[in-house]
Structure 1
Amino acid sequence: MKFLFVHQNFPGQFLHIVRHLAKSGSHDVVFISEGNENAIPGVRRVIYRMPPRPSETIHPGAREFDLGLTRADAVAKAAMTLRNLGFVPDIIIGHHGWGELLNLEDVFPGAPLLGYFEFFYHTDKYDVGFDPEFPVVPEMLPKIRAKNAINLQALNNPGWGQTPTLFQRNTYPEWAQSRITVLREGVDLDLCAPDPKASKRTLKIKDVTISPKDRLVTYVSRDLEPYRGFHVLMRALPRIQKECPQVRVVMVGGDGVSYGSRLVNGTWRERMLSELQGQLDLSRIHFVGKVSYDDFRALLKRSDAHVYLTYPFVASWSLREAMAMACPIVGSNTAPVREFIDDHRTGLLTPFTKPERIAESVLELLDDRRLAGRLGEAARADAEATLCLGDYLSRYEDLIEQLTGQSPSCVEAPKSRTRRVSRPVAEAEKKKKTAKMGAARKKA
């Protein structure tokens, strides 16, 4: 089969399926993206470049849509070059978030399109107004509504959707949800496997050394920012340090802002260190920035208590990986986390906005190692049952087959697996059946 993938930051959410398809050696896999240093053997890259945009002349609420339309033009131009070279995909798979897919139906009319729908913004729920520390001002509301311009155009275009969680699908309007399949993303359970002996070894991450005598609390986020509860966890640390003198806290993440608004001056790390000046023993708190995937896994395998906090927003891959590595998890009691963590069975859920409660939960895990072990084992068991990478890839192939009528795999599906037929495929099959019946009547 011929696959065309699109994501501005190659390979984005498509790492596992692209690697899987390319590794089979049976498919032609092409990926349109902006340039970066990432590479996957067997995948052909087509790079597009964004022209400079004079944003000062564009209404603030329209800037994101303007950028999306610009990306759509650039991707369509790259796709037209592919078409002129004779490449016509059997299916197009990409992310709707940046507008890159909007014009591909003009380049490849009739090609099935499977788009990744990540989040539909609302002015009155989910992330907006969730944190009382950051109240919504009326000036924000038009900009929030405008953020759905690409979403709405994508939903109006031909194609089918996918999203990794029920929470994310439920953010979309009811009329759109029937066109979006929940395709739960998987984890490599071999790479992300528990290591019972990790706590007995000395661990080194950059210039930080964690000894077997230390109690390790971990926190991971792309950036240290409020959307992922960085500010709240920082306020929980004075009590955690006071009641557990041997605790070491390692925080992974950059100083940028991936979600929400940036500070006018400085970073959130600087802001919180200033707020808590004199209350923290900074020799036992380590900001290690962004780390390699090997260091990330080594850190979580050693963790005595892993803290994962988020607004009602998209859940991070690190939560899935923490479960797979049997981390004792303290999670925020928010909808995206509840979809993964069952309170007191696979982790401890705590109110996002209450540092004291977060501290209590972390200290409970540090004090009660039997509880921590039981929760970690249950989290791993849930990961094996629901987050297996092989099952995820199999479901992905099923969805591709439903949309194209072709199976990407040469291996026959197990008889026990039921074939889920999506609405457009069911309608197409019904038309074929009707056409065959009509032809049979004419012959008769």
Structure 2
Amino acid sequence: MKILFVHQNFPGQYRELFKWFVEQGDHEIVFLTQRTEVPHIKGARIVTYKPHHKPAKDAYALTQYWEECAGAGFGAAMAAQSMDKAGFKPDIILGHVGWGELTFMKEVWPDVPIIGFFEYYFLAKGGSVGFDPEFPASAHTPFVMHARNAVNFANIQTVDLGHSPTAWQRDTFPETFHDKIYVCHDGIRTDRLRPNPEASVPLGRLGRSVTRQDEIFTYMARNMEPTRGFHVFMRALPHILAARPNARALIIGGNEVSYGKASDRKGGYRADMEREVGDRVDWDRVHFLGRVPYEAYQQIIRISRCHIYLTVPFVLSWSLLESMSMGATIVASDVAPVREAVTHGKTGLLVDYFQPEKLAQQVADVLERPGTYAHLGPAARQHVIETYDFRTRTLPVHLARINDLLPRAKQVALP
């Protein structure tokens, strides 16, 4: 079978599915992406495209996002035309709809089935925008958010089938979309993401490695920003450290912004919060690790006595499910997308997003009485195995949906 993956940031959400198809060795696989620094992958071909157009910085706000996505979509379509002329026509296309890359694919291959990844419908209420009153939306924000959904509306017509990783994400879309979108997570490699009581992490400032014997708590986000509750974590930090004089915080994440508005002050949100908590924090016990390699991140989670996951109502991070797979004791914000994955008192602990002192109390209690909460990590791992495991749970669903769109001769053997 010939498969075309489309995602501007290779491999994106197709990390595991792409690898699996490559490992089979009997498919012709092409991945179309904007990313230029991609290693050679035996068994697959990476094709790079450039957006045909990008909007000016002062472009009209209501059409700016569509203009950007249309430029990406047309650039991707031009690359698809070149592949077609060179003799490659896919049997199926799997791609993310959010950046417009699939919008014009049917103009190139009208009879090729497409499964589109519907990640998020831009909500003026009930999602990330306007949830935290500390970061209020402007009067024009609802109009801008709805205008952004032009890409989603265009692509629900383009694709033959949609896909969302969680029910909460699917349900952000209008009900008229739901019958066309199936729900199944990208998948977690629970066979690789396991607990390891022997794990250790070197801390240069400390002059030694820390292990499960140390009182470590962790926080992670791609970037330290309000959408992922960084400010809430930082306001809880002084209380945790004061309650637990031997505890250390290991913080993973960059200092940019992935979602929402950037801080207008030097140093970003990290500097903002460092100024706010100031001398109430013992900075010798706070370790900002930046972005770390994937293997290092796993070791950090494995030594964590308590892992903090915070988010507004938004797309669920892989890191939550991965941490659960590694047996971490999770303290997370009590919001709808998290409740889909974590049951309070059974697979983790949920706290009010807006109460950093309550967050601190819960984390401090986990650090003080790890035995009381020892059942949570194994239960969290078992839940991820039963619900989100890539090989046994999500892969068969994705392959079945792919097969539904293919003639029998092209269908993939289910594992």
Give the TM-score normalised by structure 1. Answer: 0.89
Other-structure match for 1:439: none
- Unpaired segments ≥5 residues, structure 2: none
Q: Shift in Å at residue 139 of structure 1?
A: 2.5
Other-structure match for 1:86: 87
Other-structure match for 2:334: 333
Other-structure match for 2:171: 170
Q: Shift in Å at residue 180 of structure 1?
A: 0.2
Structure 2: how far apart are the matches of 1:71 and 1:190?
36
Other-structure match for 1:438: none
Q: Shift in Å at residue 207 of structure 1?
A: 5.5
Structure 1: how far apart are the matches of 2:253 and 2:74?
33
Structure 1: how far apart are the matches of 2:261 and 2:408?
44
Q: Does 1:127 align with 2:125?
A: no
Deviations 1:360-407 (A, max 9, x none): 110121112123321001001111111211022221111110121348
Q: Shift in Å at residue 62 of structure 1?
A: 1.4
Structure 1: how far apart are the matches of 2:411 and 2:291?
36
Other-structure match for 1:247: 247
Structure 1: how far apart are the matches of 2:43 and 2:260?
37
Matches within 5 A, 1:228-307: 228-266=228-266, 267-307=268-308
Whether the 8 Å contact between 1:400 and 1:407 is mirrored in structure 2 is no
Q: Does 1:30 align with 2:17?
A: no
User: Structure 1 residues 53 and 380, CA, compared in 2 at 3 Å: closer, same or farther?
Assistant: closer
What is the letter of the counterpart of residue 204 of structure 1?
Answer: P
Whether the 8 Å contact between 2:52 and 2:74 is mirrored in structure 1 is no
Q: Shift in Å at residue 411 of structure 1?
A: 4.4
Matches within 5 A, 1:27-426: 27-39=27-39, 40-50=41-51, 53-56=54-57, 58-198=59-199, 202-204=200-202, 209-212=208-211, 213-266=213-266, 267-391=268-392, 392-406=394-408, 411=413
Q: Percent identity?
A: 36
Secondary structure of residue in 2 paired with 1:249: strand
Q: Shift in Å at residue 331 of structure 1?
A: 0.7
Worse-superposed segment, 371-380 or 299-308: 371-380
Structure 1: how far apart are the matches of 2:116 and 2:412?
24
Secondary structure of residue in 1 paired with 2:374: helix
Whether the 8 Å contact between 1:307 and 1:331 is mirrored in structure 2 is yes
Secondary structure of residue in 2 paired with 1:188: coil
Q: Shift in Å at residue 341 of structure 1?
A: 0.5
Structure 1: how far apart are the matches of 2:315 and 2:367?
28
Other-structure match for 2:7: 7
Q: Shift in Å at residue 306 of structure 1?
A: 0.1
Q: Shift in Å at residue 210 of structure 1?
A: 4.5
What is the letter of the counterpart of residue 143 of structure 1?
Answer: V
Structure 1: how far apart are the matches of 2:319 and 2:260?
19
Structure 2: how far apart are the matches of 1:408 and 1:195?
41
Q: Shift in Å at residue 136 of structure 1?
A: 2.1
What is the letter of the counterpart of residue 147 of structure 1?
Answer: R
Other-structure match for 1:437: none
Count of paired positions = 410
Deviations 1:343-374 (A, max 9, x none): 00111000111101110110121112123321
Structure 2: how far apart are the matches of 1:56 and 1:250?
37
- Unpaired segments ≥5 residues, structure 1: 414-444
Give the TM-score normalised by structure 2. Answer: 0.95
Structure 1: how far apart are the matches of 2:283 and 2:322?
28
Worse-superposed segment, 96-105 or 53-62: 53-62
Q: Shift in Å at residue 203 of structure 1?
A: 2.1
Structure 1 segments, 4+ long, off by >4 Å, are: 205-210, 406-413
